[in-house]
C-alpha cells in the first residue's frame, strides 16, 4: 500500500516544518527534487514558463556544482532554490555529524535558507540542528513520479484525486521520473479547476 501524504506523526514530531501552505484559497506549490539535470531541467522550465508558473527546486549539491549553468537558468526564470544535500543521504541511516555536514557542503551550491531532507527521513536531533539555520520543507502530496512501476497517466490521476488547497507537491527533476509526460496536463487541469500556483514562503509560518 502506498502513502502519498506524510505520516501524521511527522507533523507532530516537526511542528514548525512546512508540510502544507496555510491557506483556504485554491493555491498549490510545485517543488522538484534531485536535480538539476541536463535533460529534464530545461524541459521542466519550459513547461513552467509556458504557464507562468513559479516553482521551487530542491537541488543536489553535487549536481549543482557540476551544472552551474543549470542553476543559473533556474534562478533566471524566477524560481526558488532549496538545499537537498550534497549527496542524497538517509537521515535515519547516517551518522548525524556526516548528515549535517552534507547540507553544509551543499549550501555553497544551493541554498542557505530552504532545506528538504531526502526521503523525508530525518531524526529529531538532526532536525533541531538544521532548523536553527533553515526553513525545513516536507510536502503534502508525493505522487511517486520516480517509480517506474507507476505510469505518468497514473501519477496524473493521483494528483487530480488528492490535490487540495495548500498542497505542496513533490515531483522529481530526473530522467528516471515520468514528470515530463504529465506536468503540462496537470498544470492545465489545476488552472481549469480554479487553482493558482505560488512559490514557497522563505520565512514565517505560512
Segments in the chain forming alpha helices (H): 8-13, 40-51, 61-66, 68-76, 96-107, 124-131, 152-162, 179-192
- Catalytic site residue from 33, 34, 37, 173: 33
Residue 37 a catalytic site member? no
On the CB side of 144, CA atoms within 13 Å amount to 16
Choose among 6, 23, 22: nearest CA to 14: 6
Residue 147 a catalytic site member? no
Measured CA to CA in angstroms, residue 16 lies from 28, 111, 132, 170 at distances of 19, 19, 11, 19
Angle at Cα 29 formed by Cα 26 and Cα 34, nearest 5°? Answer: 160
CA distance 73 to 56: 13
- Catalytic site residue from 46, 172, 173, 188: 172
- Catalytic residue ranges: 33, 172
Amino acid at each position: 500500500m502506498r502513502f502519498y501524504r506524510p505520516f501524521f506523526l511527522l507533523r507532530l514530531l516537526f511542528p514548525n516544518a512546512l508540510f502544507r501552505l496555510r491557506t483556504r484559497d485554491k493555491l498549490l506549490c510545485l517543488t522538484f527534487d534531485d536535480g538539476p539535470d541536463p535533460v529534464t531541467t530545461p524541459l521542466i522550465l519550459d513547461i513552467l514558463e509556458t504557464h507562468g508558473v513559479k516553482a521551487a527546486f530542491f537541488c543536489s549539491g553535487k549536481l549543482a556544482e557540476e551544472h552551474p549553468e543549470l542553476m543559473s537558468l533556474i534562478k533566471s526564470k524566477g524560481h526558488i532554490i532549496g538545499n537537498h544535500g550534497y549527496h542524497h543521504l538517509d537521515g535515519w541511516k547516517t551518522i548525524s555529524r556526516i548528515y549535517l555536514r552534507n547540507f553544509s557542503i551543499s549550501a555553497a551550491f544551493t541554498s542557505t535558507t530552504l532545506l528538504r531532507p531526502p526521503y523525508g527521513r530525518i531524526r529529531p536531533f538532526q532536525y533541531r540542528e538544521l532548523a536553527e539555520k533553515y526553513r525545513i520543507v516536507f510536502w503534502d502530496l508525493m505522487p511517486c513520479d520516480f517509480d517506474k512501476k507507476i505510469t505518468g497517466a497514473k501519477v496524473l490521476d493521483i494528483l487530480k484525486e488528492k490535490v487540495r488547497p495548500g498542497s505542496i507537491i513533490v515531483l522529481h527533476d530526473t530522467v528516471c521520473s515520468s514528470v515530463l509526460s504529465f506536468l503540462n496536463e496537470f498544470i492545465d487541469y489545476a488552472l481549469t479547476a480554479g487553482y493558482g500556483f505560488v512559490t514557497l514562503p522563505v520565512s514565517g509560518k505560512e
